[in-house]
Amino acid sequence: MLRIDDYVEQLKARAMQKSVAAIDKKEVCTINANTMENQVPPELSQWLVDVANVRCKRAFTELFRFFSPKIKRFGIKQLGNEAQANELIQDTMTNVWKKAHLYNADKGAATTWVYTIMRNASFDMLRRIKSKGEVQLADDIWPTFADEQPEEVMFGDHLMEKQMFNYVDSLPEAQKAVVKGVYYQELSQEQLAKQLGVPVGTIKSRLRLALAKLKKQLGESND
């Protein structure tokens, strides 16, 4: 019953650790000073694109660091306790990781996209708690993830582009990541090697294999 005092003590102890950790961090990590500020870092959108295209764990970690304290604040307000707020962080960030390819930078800010994911996760959590509703309704109510229906009138270029995307998607994962990194994100082979943690030579050979495969596919379909 009278656990509240213990709990408060725990919180205090944790807050203490936290502020010590924060001081450590400030000394070690001065480069990231800008992102430690509470303003929105301009890289958010690029991080989402990196997660989508090359499953970049570092970019995801940056996203996690920026969003999780804010999701927690939202969660405590909406769901009323810390355990559920933590669950909301997990649900939201899992969906960010799994659905990053559905983020479209032309359609809105990264913060807006993550907000809709957080809101949907929170809505379905509340329903699970309140009414044991099994059906996940939020994505139907706010169709954030609805696949874009192809425009009825498509220009030749778009069709070709789309076909190209399909070919690229059919490549083996390792080759796909290289093609996407080089052609969609315009990374240098060196940058990509660093990001994927493989030697530059591997990037070169994967790229060669992938391009040969794409050429073959395009040749075949042009017959």
Partner 1 sequence: MINHHPKNDILTAFVSGQLPASVSVVVASHVELCEHCQQQVELITAQQAASAFNSASDNELIGEAPISNSEIDELDMIDMITALEPDTASVETAPVEVAVNSKLLTLPSALRQVVLKEWQGLGKLSRARFDLDDDEMRMSLLHIDKGGSVPTHTHKGFEVTLLLEGSFDDEMGHYSVGDFIWLDGEHTHQPVTQEGCVCLTVSSDAIHFTQGVSQILNPIGRFIY
Q: Which of residues 53-92 bind partner 1 (CB under 8 A)?
A: 55, 57, 60-61, 64-65, 67-70, 72-74, 76-78, 82, 86, 89-90
> Least distance (Å) from partner 1 to the CB of residue 105?
14
> Least distance (Å) from partner 1 to the CB of residue 215?
25
Stretch that binds partner 1, among 9-17, 152-160, 179-187, 213-221 (CB under 8 A): 9-17
Q: Tokens standing for 139?
A: 């994505």
> Least distance (Å) from partner 1 to the CB of residue 14?
7
Q: Does 50 bind partner 1 (CB under 8 A)?
A: no
Q: Does 208 bind partner 1 (CB under 8 A)?
A: no
Map residues 93-132 to x or -, x wherever contact with partner 1 holds by CB under 8 A. Answer: xxx-xxxxx------xx-xx-xxx-xxx-xx--xx--xxx
Burial of 187 (0-12, 13-18, 19+ CB in 10 A): buried
Q: Tokens standing for 11?
A: 């919180």
Q: Does 176 bind partner 1 (CB under 8 A)?
A: no
Buried/exposed 140-170: b ≥16 CB within 10 Å, e otherwise = eeeebeeeeeeeeeeeeeeeeeeeeeebbee
Q: Which of 15, 17, 66, 22 is nearest to 40 (CA)?
A: 66
Q: Between 109 and 218, whose beta carbon lies closer to partner 1?
A: 109
Q: How many residues bind partner 1 (CB under 8 A)?
A: 71
Q: Does 47 bind partner 1 (CB under 8 A)?
A: no
Provide the 10 A C-beta neighbour count for residue 88.
23
CB of 125 closer than 8 Å to CB of 87: yes
Site for partner 1 in 131-160 (CB under 8 A): 131-133, 135-143, 145-147, 149
CB of 59 closer than 8 Å to CB of 50: yes
